[in-house]
Amino acid sequence: MQTVLTKIALAASLAVALAACGTVGQDFTAPANVAGIDNAAFRHGASAADAAQLPKQWWSIYGDATLNRLEQSALQDNPGVKAAGERLLQALAQSGTARANQGPSVNLSTGISNSRTSANTSQGLALGNRSISGNNFSVGGSLSYEVDLLGRVKRMVEAADSQALAAQADRDGVLLMLSAQVASNYWQLRGLDAEMAILNGALDTRRESAQLVEARFNAGLTNELDLARAKVELSNAQADLHEVKRQRNQLENSLATLTGKPPSALQLPVAADPSALPLPPGIPVGLPASLLAHRPDLVSSVASLRAANAQVGVAEGAFYPSLQLTGNFGYASEKLRDLAQGGSRQFSFGPLALSLPIFDGGRNQANLDLSKARYAEAVANHETKLLTALREVEDALSDVEQRQLQGDAQALSQAAAARAYLVARTRYERGISTYLDVTDAQRSSLAADRAAAQIKTQRLLATVAVARSLGAGWQPDGELAKLASAPAAKVR
């Protein structure tokens, strides 16, 4: 027994010495940023700070209690969030499976059998035409362990851990996208509330105008054409109001789905003052180089790169020897009462099997080439995602800037259109002009009012787009934070 233990100790020492020789593959370094973004600023926004500063619950910057409630409900009950959480659990389980390969596999077994050999075989004839029969009781354990000579198993674990980190970042990305969708749909709905208020006001004005024209027609002061025009404008405003209500119903149904509820379970009342849309909040932008640490999709991309890099090491490990250690120890006896006696002891050590690939028809080289090509593809995809992220921020900032200028211009148009309608109606009432002038002025005033409400809505949607493109207050933690803050290096 002492000799066996000595052999095991020697084998373990040999395995540790071999494992310390090195690790296959190269350690991961973060990819370099796209040229020119490290010190550059966004073209359409002031970059006074190194990073955007948004709260974790970023939607609270709007100060809307209904939006806050919808966001919390969506993050808690949306089925997509639950599915993303389950994908993360799957990735963690796969990581646990890979980690299990780093340790030995130990099994315990017991058995009971009854057997009888033939008396007419060569063995039975040698025993004088006798057969061997009886019971066999056994209990024992077995051990199997792959010695990680050059870190192949270590690279497998690294790849699995990186995939789990990518799944975690993807889960956070789902939460970010969901919160942005809820905010966008909500502000679109409130914008339609404002348009409904404008159309209801226009309906009241058109009813009064129709009554005025009808009274003048009955008094012989105008013609039937003016009366028909007044009725047409009244009907058009009613039709526009029904269209806005239809769009609002669809947005309400969409919000119900996003919050994990059936459409019939969510009914949002029209805002108490629908015409008073809030001013868009200011959002600090930061520098383009800070995007990597604030967008979960980019951190997920880096984690996927790390996994692809580790897979290259796994493929390289196939060219080197592998060492497998096996052994078992237990007791076996014909009689159960003799099972624990020293004479029933049985054990084996080995084989300590060392295998080295000699010829495989180029399979290992092809696998290595495949892993390297996948890593190069992942690098290119990461660069594409980074450029896309920069474009999204620039687009959103441009929208904020231009929508503000558009709103200023539209306010002048709105005031001029309201004045034109007042003048046209006064001239008609005095008999100076025809009702056609009033109709044209009504249309222009209504269009200007609705355009102003739509621009206010678009300004709010632009701020949502800015927040989403900047990561909307997301902050990585743990290993994700290390990935996000890892120093960039040239891609090999």
DSSP labels for 347-389? EEEEEEEEE-----TTHHHHHHHHHHHHHHHHHHHHHHHHHHH
SS3 state of residue 471: coil
Neighbouring C-beta atoms of residue 158, cutoff 10 Å: 24
And the tokens for 108?
A: 């315990």
pLDDT of residue 179: 92
pLDDT band at 52 (very low <50, low <70, confident <90, very high): low
Return the higher-pLDDT residue of 255 and 43. 255
Average pLDDT, the chain: 82
Strand ranges of the sheet holding 322-333, from the earlier edge strand across to the other edge:
105-116, 133-147, 322-333, 345-355
Structure tokens at 76: 């808690």
Q: Choose between 482 and 184: higher pLDDT.
A: 184
Distance, in Å, from the CA atom of 317 to the CA atom of 307, rounded to the nearest integer, reads: 15
Q: Is 328 helix (H, G, I), strand (E, B) or coil?
A: strand
Q: How confident is the model at residue 2 (pLDDT cuts 50, 70, 90)?
A: very low
Helix axes 224-258, 65-77, angle to 10 degrees: 50
Is 299 within 8 Å of 389 (Cβ atoms)? no
Mean pLDDT of the region 142-163: 82
Distance CA 143, CA 289 (A): 51
Can you tell me the mean pLDDT for 368-393? 89
pLDDT over 90, % of the chain? 20
Band (pLDDT 50/70/90 cuts) for residue 5 is very low
Tokens of 154: 């270590």
Kindly report, residue by residue over 428-464, the tens digit of the pLDDT. 888 888 788 888 888 888 999 999 999 999 999 999 9
d(CA 427, CA 434): 8
The highest-confidence range among 14-18, 299-303, 345-349, by mean pLDDT, is 299-303
Average pLDDT value for residue range 181-203: 92
- Written as one letter, the residue type at 400 is V
Given the structure tokens 């233990």, which residue do they identify? 5
Apex 343 CA angle, 342 and 345, nearest 5: 70
- Identity of the highest mean pLDDT range in 247-256, 351-360, 432-441: 247-256
Which of 43-57, 317-331, 418-432 has the highest average model confidence (pLDDT)? 418-432
**Contact criterion met (CB below 8 Å) for 109 and 137:** no
Is the pLDDT score of 491 beyond 60? no
Indicate whether 422 pLDDT > 60: yes
Higher pLDDT, 250 or 157: 250
pLDDT band at 350 (very low <50, low <70, confident <90, very high): low
Whether the pLDDT of residue 8 is over 50: the answer is no
pLDDT of residue 51: 54
pLDDT tens digits, residue range 63-72? Answer: 889 999 999 9
Helix (H, G, I), strand (E, B) or coil at 145: strand
Please tell me the distance from the alpha carbon of residue 141 to that of residue 327, in angstroms, as a whole number: 9
Backbone phi and psi for residue 330, each to the nearest 5 degrees, phi listed first: -175, -165
pLDDT band at residue 344 using 50, 70 and 90 as cut-offs: confident
Question: What percent of the chain clears pLDDT 70, i.e. is strictly above it?
Answer: 87
Would the CA dihedral through 54, 55, 58, 61 be positive or negative?
A: negative
Determine the 3-state secondary structure of 474 from DSSP. coil
Most confident of 21-35, 43-57, 199-213, 470-484: 199-213
Compute the distance between CA of residue 469 and CA of residue 291 in angstroms, rounded to an integer: 9
Highest mean pLDDT among 18-22, 113-117, 152-156: 152-156
- pLDDT band for position 1 (50/70/90)? very low
> For residues 108 and 315, what is the distance between their CA atoms, to the nearest angstrom?
33
